Structure 1
Amino acid sequence: MQRKAFPVLYVSSVRRAVEFYALLGYKSVYQFPLEGDPHYVGLERGDSSLGIADTSWPEAQLGITVGTAPRFELFVYVDDVGAEVETFRAAGYEVLQEPANMPWGERQAYVLDPDRNPVALATPI
């Protein structure tokens, strides 16, 4: 029995979200349906996993609607915060907070994902 837990992010465009998280090194390991526009994509990056699901899923399956952003904050450790920020900036994503040294011993910045959820990028100092 597998004892793994991972978040499922509800997004307005699965393809656009997958492109965003690919910039952080996430790789697609599963897609449903297998052909055509995906409604769900499973991503992995090392030991980290994310599910990416269309916002229509919780309403269709659970009878609940997705609220407005931000709906979550994702915290991701990277090798070089400054380089990652420039990668996202060059790809046209908004940088919410420029890299800065934090008093708890990390260099940290924030970018916004395509649904305007904050994604923290951090490197231990």
Structure 2
Amino acid sequence: MIESAFPIVEVPDMEAALRFYRDGLGATVTYRYPPEGEPLFATLQAGSSQVGLGLADGATAGEGAGILLWFYVDDVDAVTTSLAEAGFLVVEEPSDSDWGERVSLVTDPFGTRVRLGQPIAPPPDEE
């Protein structure tokens, strides 16, 4: 049986990916290979989760790629605005969902869809 999962996003440009995930979302690089020079792989700590970035020539994502990354952030509006100001595409502006979270949808530099979410206090009444 599965013990854990570790998503790796294959990217054609590591520096552009790090600008989005590390600088834009605030993830921390905890491992990189090789340790010196241009990284071919990086592990990022994103809150209590980890995600990998792997350099892959010709890697593509974008709409229809069948992947959505979801990151819980402390302030959806502020992070979405910061990413937009840094030139990243905002697909859906922040809004309150029916299930009790504030969410937005952005894309990384390669078109991978990234949903940002935060709980709304108090959550809506359940029916």
Same-fold status (TM-score > 0.5): yes
| 1:14-93 → structure 2 map (5 Å cutoff) | 14-22=14-22, 23-56=24-57, 66=59, 68-70=61-63, 71=65, 72-93=67-88
TM-score in terms of structure 2 length: 0.82
Report the CA distance between 1:5 and its aligned residue.
2.7
Question: In percent, how many aligned pairs have the same letter?
Answer: 36
Task: Give the structure 1 partner of residue 115 of structure 2.
Answer: 120
Task: Give the structure 2 partner of residue 60 of structure 1.
Answer: none
TM-score in terms of structure 1 length: 0.83
List runs of 5+ in structure 2 lacking aligned partners: 121-127
* SS of residue paired to 1:18: helix
* SS of residue paired to 2:98: coil
Structure 1 consecutive aligned stretches of length 4 or more whose deviation exceeds 4 Å: 65-68
RMSD: 1.6
**Equivalent residues, number:** 115
* SS of residue paired to 1:79: coil
1-side partners of 2:25 and 2:4: how far apart? 21
